[in-house]
Amino acid sequence: MGPDDLDLNREDPPPPADRPVLAGAAAPPAASRGWLIAALIVLAIAIGGVARWWTMQPDQTVAETPAAAPAPATPTDVPIEPEVTLPPLEDMDPFLRALLGALSARPELARWLATDGLIQQMAMVVDRVSRGVTPARQLGTLSPGTDIEIAGRGRAREISQASFRRYDGLAETLAAADPAAVATAYRTIRPRLNEAYQNQGHPGADVDVAVQQALDLLIATPVPEPPVRVVEGRGATWNYADPELEALSPVQKQLLRLGPENQARVIEALKQIRQQLQP
């Protein structure tokens, strides 16, 4: 297990072991590091990107309501959503590649778009995160490309600020997403996402429930006071020194890797998205 995995207790077999990387040392490329937040960003860009795409269509069809006397607008009014015809599940890859490729230049997104089964991967992320499980091996293409750095000596070790800075751009991307647009677009692609989710061993289930569980779990992750201290575990692993942090689910422990500042920004963005998704 690699040092960036922080004893994540994966369901899948771990990758070959490597040694801890100390601050100032050269960090080897990571095969499947940092998938979680990159996956969340991909999901946010995907569903938020659909909403932005609507604004670029000059002949977009919008559902119309029957003629009636105008009523004063209230905060509870449900906005009219554009009608978007989604391809069949098996044809969603070209649809998403064409849509997302023009909306973001992030290298993580480009690597992900080169893979197959994009909507199925989104469903897998929702499924596993909702259960506190990490799909690290399946989403290795979303790696940030560098390994974790640990500063300090002896038992006075902590995750370096340089490690946290790897996630600045991803946290900023999610924090800048329009929660209302994300929620509206999610409801648009939901039929295909729900279909993919049901095909992954959840016949008759509702992906909305899994999304709510995933958001609740991530939002409940405590934001630690810096520095985030670690201790060396068995083999080439690092464990969180705080027993309460180490006792968190694997997916929550990976969220901690963003660092307190980025983690707080991401959690706030997820709270706003959750609020917009509530009926």
- State the pLDDT confidence band at 198, using cuts at 50, 70 and 90: very high
Predicted confidence (pLDDT) per residue in 36-69, tens digit? 555 666 666 565 666 555 555 554 443 444 444 4
115 HSE (CA, 13 A, CB side):
16
Residue 170 pLDDT exceeds 70: yes
Q: How many CB atoms lie within 10 A of CB 176?
A: 11
pLDDT, average across residues 248-276: 92
* Choice between 180 and 55, residue whose per-residue pLDDT is larger: 180
The reported pTM is 0.75
Owner of token pair 């996402």? 193
pLDDT of the residue at 70 = 45
How far are the Cα atoms of 51, 64, 131, 151, 247 from residue 93, in angstroms, in the given order? Answer: 18, 30, 26, 42, 38
Predicted confidence (pLDDT) per residue in 75-108, tens digit? 444 444 456 789 999 999 998 888 777 666 777 7
pLDDT of the residue at 172 = 82
Predicted confidence (pLDDT) per residue in 118-133, tens digit? 999 889 889 988 999 8
Selection from 78-87, 146-155, 203-212, 225-234 with the highest mean pLDDT: 203-212
Q: Which of 255, 229, 253, 259 is nearest to 242 (CA)?
A: 229
Sheet holding 156-159, edge to edge: 150-153, 156-159, 229-232, 238-240
